[in-house]
Amino acid sequence: MNLSPALNVAVRAARDAGRIALRHFDQLHRLEIREKAPQDLVTNADLEVEEILISQLKKAYPQYGILAEESGRQGDNKGLHWIIDPIDGTLNFSRGLPHFAISIALARGTDVQGGLIYDPVRDELFTAEKGRGAFLNDRRMRVSQQPHMVASLLGTGFPFRHQELKEPYLKAFREVLQRAGEVRRAGSAALDLAYVAAGRFDAFWELRLSPWDIAAGQLMVTEAGGYVSDMTGDKNHMRSGDIVAGNTDIQPQLLELLQHNKLDDLPPRPAVQKS
């Protein structure tokens, strides 16, 4: 696995930041937690991890912009820029659940060129670069070959910060639950997408995610041979935050179920929101 110089820098930064995250995870009694919005947490670990990532990435590539969950935008995000989620799965992290990850993507506008998702607990590094495939550590990833919805394992996340979406989401969820084999809600969209790319999940869907939640993972699914779209079947998931990703058999079936339940006819969100 030969990564580009930029992604190699991101990998080193993620591994360094992962050690900081694990140090905080081992001392949760000292963790400082505040609520940015209802059910939207930030910890001192998020802030420290993000600071380390930005520092190392800007040192190597000062000309690149930054879009980060906690500190927002720095520089021009129309050209090459990093998209950073310091800890995807902050609630899991804060409660001692060992399921969270660092996500970094390099994009030009909304066109993601490369990305990584690093799970420091399991020491699993998922990487992808456009046109060069997707890898878990040094092994090439491929999406699953499961063709049957009734035998599928799906991942999802609930739109708990968007009260107006709960009823349409739950209506769709009930039908998916009746048609699919099993459904998991693990609490980290980045890892859910990485797991689709690795063939662990057959598909994943969620509404109103932020760019830092999905930028790296959606590229991994595509590079691992899968399909990614928004709820209409178009490729506007980076803008809308509505995403359906999966293998080439299950993704279209899941998308059809979601569209049957009108998840392709929701009002657009007014602006990019943090997730």
Boundaries of CATH 3.30.540.10 in the chain? 5-140
Question: Which amino acid, one-letter code, is at 43?
Answer: T
Active-site residue, from 46, 50, 70, 88: 88
Cα–Cα distance between 18 and 86 in angstroms, integer? Answer: 9
Residues of the chain with CATH 3.40.190.80: 149-261
CA dihedral 196, 200, 202, 205 (to 10 degrees): -50
What distances in angstroms separate CA 256 from CA 160, 197, 205, 208, 210, one per listed residue? 23, 21, 12, 19, 23
Spatial CA neighbour of 246 closest among 188, 201, 179 = 201
Give catalytic status of residue 213 as yes or no. yes
pLDDT value, residue 271? 53
pLDDT at position 38, please?
64
Predicted confidence (pLDDT) per residue in 9-27, tens digit: 999 999 999 999 999 999 9
What mean pLDDT is predicted for residues 110-132?
A: 98
Name the catalytic one among 69, 119, 192, 202: 69
**214 a catalytic residue:** no
pLDDT at 63 > cutoff 70: yes
Q: What's domain 5-140's architecture?
A: 2-Layer Sandwich (3.30)
Q: Which residues of 52-68 are buried (b: 16+ CB within 10 A; e: fewer)?
A: bbbebbbeebeebbbbb
pLDDT of residue 275 exceeding 50, the answer is: no
pLDDT (average), residues 86-93: 96
Evaluate whether 208 touches 162 at the Cβ level (below 8 Å): yes
- Residue 50 contacts residue 82 (beta carbons within 8 Å): no
Tokens at residue 211, please? 């760019």
Q: What is the pLDDT of residue 262?
A: 87
Instruction: Please tell me the predicted confidence (pLDDT) of residue 270.
Output: 57
For residue 2 the two structure tokens come to 């030969």
Q: Does the structure show a pLDDT above 80 at 186?
A: yes
Residue 87 appears among annotated catalytic residues: yes
User: Would you state the structure tokens that stand for residue 42, as one six-digit string?
Assistant: 């930030």
201 DSSP assignment: S
pLDDT at 161: 79
Per-residue pLDDT at 40 exceeds 90 = no
Would you state the pLDDT for residue 179? 96
Say what the pLDDT of residue 266 is. Answer: 83
Please tell me the predicted confidence (pLDDT) of residue 273: 42
The domain made up of 149-261 has a fold known as D-Maltodextrin-Binding Protein; domain 2 (3.40.190)
Average pLDDT over the chain, rounded to an integer = 94
> According to the model, what pLDDT value does residue 269 have?
65
Predicted TM-score of the model (pTM) = 0.94
List the binding residues for Mg(2+): 69, 85, 87-88, 213
Q: What is the pLDDT of residues 196-243, one digit of tens each?
A: 999 999 999 999 999 999 999 999 999 999 999 999 999 999 999 999
- pLDDT more than 90, % of the chain: 82
Say whether 88 is catalytic. yes
Percent pLDDT > 70 in the chain is 96
The residue from 52, 83, 87, 250 that is catalytic is 87
